[in-house]
Amino acid sequence: MIILIILTKKHFFFVRLEFFKKEYICKTNNPFMNYNFTIIVPVYNEEDNLIRVEQALLDYIKIATKKTKILFVNDGSKDQSQELIEAICSRQTDFTFISFKENRGLSAAIKAGFDCADTELVGYIDSDLQTAPEDFNLLLEHIGEYDLVTGVRANRKDSFVKNMSSTIANGIRRAFTHDGMDDTGCPLKVIKTDYAKRIPMFKGLHRFLPAMILLQEGKIIQIPVQHFPRIAGTAKFGLWNRLLGPLMDCFAYLWMKRKYINYSIAKKG
């Protein structure tokens, strides 16, 4: 963990960067399949949704434009999520999982998925199914030209408070990052895996994935996708997570942007 003190003319901020140590083993159920696309599914106490998730992803695999496999990342769930995940993976050859020893947060779960991915493309979707797996095909249409394609939730089906806090947080983030993205919290993204693996993840950085691709001089685009109400389980983010936490993360991003190493080789011999 690194503690930063960021000074301005009138204020100073303490920004905590929590980097993640790898403490898991990545395995695949079917190493002989020629997969092109890994979908990461972070899971934290989603026992009421996982059977629906299994069926929705099975339906998507049948129509996917890339050969697809699923990677559940159990973020230290305290309910029956792990038992359900293991049952799903035992009966579905295109499904696999890793499980954390303890809850580490969404950014850590996404990083673990990036670390384990061995396909040319990686994406992720939340296990609440408020976005539709079939919309991955919309994003995949653009991934040849772009290095990250993110969804933007059209006609969001969330509460007024949740929508308003998200709008404010996105506005603040855009002012810091200038990434031009309207909805970086949308849990439907496709990224070229070599770009994803180069992202120096810290806690909260899942909100800055497009900006981190831009730091690598990659190309990004946002595409409208469907959005649905949550019908089971409970939301994992409150007002702090949607407003105050992301504000502090913006200062951490600025520090990382200043320190980020990127270079192009003109000649070699």
Find out whether 125 and 206 touch, Cβ atoms under 8 Å. no
Burial class, 133, CB count within 10 angstroms (exposed 0-12 / middle 13-18 / buried 19+)? buried
The C-alpha atoms of residue 115 and residue 136 are separated, in whole angstroms, by: 21
Tens of pLDDT, residue by residue, the chain (269 residues): 545 554 444 444 444 455 555 666 566 556 557 999 999 999 999 999 999 999 999 999 999 999 999 999 999 999 999 999 999 999 999 999 999 999 999 999 999 999 999 999 999 999 999 999 999 999 999 999 999 999 998 877 666 666 676 777 767 777 888 888 888 889 999 999 999 999 988 787 888 999 999 999 999 999 999 988 777 756 655 555 666 777 788 888 888 888 888 878 899 88
Amino acid at 135: D
Domains along the chain with CATH numbers: 26-259 (3.90.550.10)
Q: Quick one: which of 178, 177, 181 has its CA closest to 167?
A: 181
The neighbour count for residue 199, using CB atoms within 10 Å, is 20
Dihedral Cα 250, 252, 257, 258, nearest 10 deg: 120
Q: Quick one: which of 253, 170, 260, 248 has its CA closest to 215?
A: 260
CA angle 72, 73, 77 (to 5 degrees): 110
pTM: 0.82
The neighbour count for residue 135, using CB atoms within 10 Å, is 18
β-pairing, 68-74 with 37-43? Answer: parallel
Q: Quick one: which of 45, 186, 206, 213 has its CA closest to 112?
A: 206
